[in-house]
Structure 1
Amino acid sequence: MFTFSGWAAVLSARGSLRGGLGQLRIVSDKSNRTIIQSAVPEAIFVSSDDYEEIKYAVSKSDALAIGPGLGCSSQVGCLLEMLCECGGSPPVLLDADGLNMATAGTGPRIKDWTFERNVLLTPHLGEMARLSSLSPEFIGSDRLVVTKEFAE
């Protein structure tokens, strides 16, 4: 899990653990270490400025969740570029700021994430509107059809 907001990481981590996740690594800004390790002692903390440790964490992961609390800074853009270049990466759940970075052009585009991995996008209505360039009203009129067409 990649995040820069400590509490977003805690919320996502707790949900993952309750869902049956085995080992959990959280990549976040070192300023969040105390928050994360206090609230989720089961998690292995990885500092977001330690790219070698991040690459190792990715190589040991069965899946990645990228986005909740991530932020949209240039440091995050560099981190996402590095992740996109990791060959043989596991499947990715791209949510929240991960989607925002991909649609704003400040990080790897969505198509860059799909080269060697499966990618699950979890946009809310506003994020889907930005991703697809469709109006929220049009998307809301038939979400299932719009989602299927966008996925293809």
Structure 2
Amino acid sequence: MENQRSSHVSIPEITQKLLAAKQEKGLSFADLEKILGRDEVWIAAVIYRQASASPEEAKLLIDALELPPIYIKELTEYPVKGLGPVVPTDPLIYRFYEIIQVYGFPIKAVIHDKFGDGIMSAIDFTLDVQKEEDPKGDRVKIIMSGKFLPYKKW
């Protein structure tokens, strides 16, 4: 199974079962994207219980993984989101934490320059992960797109 465990982050049992079935079937998140008609990052968020699926989406996922329908209900429940109050120890996840530590205020300043006082929505949001081939070593390209929400004055 994919190494997703950390000493500080508890991976739900359903996530472990879904990932094991995904690996057993030899499916990628991109394969599941074709089956469900939803983005691979969103599907991964459902599997990791950071997003909820409709009953139809949950059934498609469970059918693709050839798991019993008892998992459909859990995949449609509202999840508790986030990693918790700990600094992530997984090196890849920690890099995102590090990026925000280093570039968080600069990103905030540039957003304010371009849009004014407000935030980027993580609700009206999309995220795309792309692979850029490079002779010096392949690169990870992440595109985040969130609706700008200005702070209201009253």
Bigger CA radius of gyration: 2
User: Greater strand percent: which structure?
Assistant: 2
- TM-score (ref. length: structure 1): 0.23
